Amino acid sequence: MKITIGAINDKPGSSKNYKTGSWRTLKPVINLEKCKKCWLCKQLCPEGCITKKEEGPQINYDYCKGCGICAHECTFDAIIMELEER
């Protein structure tokens, strides 16, 4: 289903169908060596794009909009925002 300008999404809860990561101009990149696994980034991500993995946080770039909250709030400077390359 493609949503056009002015259209109505008649399928609520279908956000998994829309990969909103393409909106991003900057993307968060995690340095796992600096990461202390405090999981603050996961707690504060408004899109729920960060998941817990044994090696550390993992970002789902299909849905990450690049808001930068995770990088801004990371106490250990383990997340930086890089220019998105397309």
Establish if 29 belongs to a structural domain.
yes
Number of domains making up the chain = 1
Q: Check residue 7 and give its pLDDT.
A: 59
The pLDDT tens digits for 32-56 are: 999 999 999 999 999 999 999 999 9
Establish if 32 belongs to a structural domain.
yes
40 or 12, which is more confident: 40
Establish if 7 belongs to a structural domain.
no
Q: What's the predicted TM-score (pTM) here?
A: 0.79
- Can you give the residue range of the structural domain that contains 22? 18-83
CA–CA separation, 82 and 5 (whole Å): 30
CA–CA separation, 71 and 81 (whole Å): 7
| CATH code of the domain containing 72 | 3.30.70.20
